[in-house]
Structure 1
């Protein structure tokens, strides 16, 4: 697999999304990655084509357990207190299966930097490299201030805000943002009915 250095948003997004599959975050539904099939859906949902799954090799229960361990590490890097801690943690993840960067042509023929992954790397190893390269790119391009916890009450989600404006406050805007908007709307309606 080749990981684009310039497209850091992919890995940064995967870091937060993977961390948020944890049963600690998914309190209502439980672990969002309980099975190899769920892992495949997660990878497909992020457009990740890992070499470890080439030739139709399905992930195993052991692969899922390794990804669960990686999930904790990814969350730990997103939750770091300092930029230096984030860089150190992301570098460890990137080095799990990432090799030295190479300059290669993209599909349009332009030169781009890529980090190839080691031959025979595990699913968790390749995924760690994707996340590590993405987090390093996010620190470089956006700064550590974009590594955030969700502000929705009761949510334990984390994310890296790769949006242009940098104003994102929810781990899952469609879910946490809507939930909070509905709660605020109901509170206003209750208050309005009490004052009538």
Structure 2
């Protein structure tokens, strides 16, 4: 796998999404990555073609367990208190399978920095490198203040806000944000009907 150093958004987004697959976040549905098939769906949904899955190799049960362990580490990096801690944690993740950076041409012919991964790297280590480089890029480009916990009451989700304005407050705006909007709407209706 070849990971772009300058395009950190995919890795930073995946960091939050992976952390939020935990049953401590998914309290209603439970474990979001219980099987190799759900892990494959998750990775495919993020547009990842990992070398560890080359040749059509499906993830194994061991891969799922390793990803569950990685998920805890990733959450720990997103929840760090300081920028230095986030950088240290991102560097550890990036170093799992990441090799030294190389300068190569992209499909458009422009020179770009990439971090290749070890050809024999296990799935969890390759994913750790992808996420680690994304988190390091997010710290460099946006700052540690973009590593956040979800503002929805009762939600334990985390995310890296890569939005242009930097005002995102929910880990899953379509779920957590919508839930808050519905609750606020019901409260306004209740107060409106009580006033009449």
Query: Structure 1 length as normaliser, TM-score?
Result: 0.99
The residue correspondences of 1:13-52 to structure 2 (distance < 5 A) are: 13-52=13-52
For the residues of structure 2 that align with 1:73 and 1:188, how far apart are their CA atoms? Answer: 41
The residue number in structure 2 matching 1:191 is 191
Q: Does 1:100 align with 2:97?
A: no
Q: In structure 2, what is the Cα distance between the partners aligned to 1:175 and 1:5? A: 31
Distance 1:165 1:192 in 2: 33
Deviating above 4 A after TM superposition, structure 1's stretches of 4 or more consecutive aligned residues are none
Residue 58 of structure 2 corresponds to which residue in structure 1?
Answer: 58
The aligned residue for residue 174 of structure 2 is 174
CA deviations over 1:53-78 (Å, ceiling 9, x no partner): 00011100000000000000000000
What is aligned with 1:130? 130
Aligned length: 196
CA RMSD of aligned residues (A): 0.5
Q: Deviations over 1:162-185 (max 9, x none)?
A: 011111111011111111000000
TM-score (norm 2): 0.99
Alignment partner of 1:113: what SS? strand
> Distance in 1 between the 2:158 and 2:14 partners?
11
Gaps (5+ residues) in structure 2?
none
1:72 and 1:184 map into 2 onto residues whose CA distance is: 33
Give unpaired runs (5+ residues) of structure 1. none
CA offsets per residue over residues 139-161 of structure 1, 9 Å max, x none? 00000000000101111100000
After TM superposition, give the deviation of residue 190 of structure 1 in Å. 1.1
In structure 2, the residue matched to 1:89 is 89
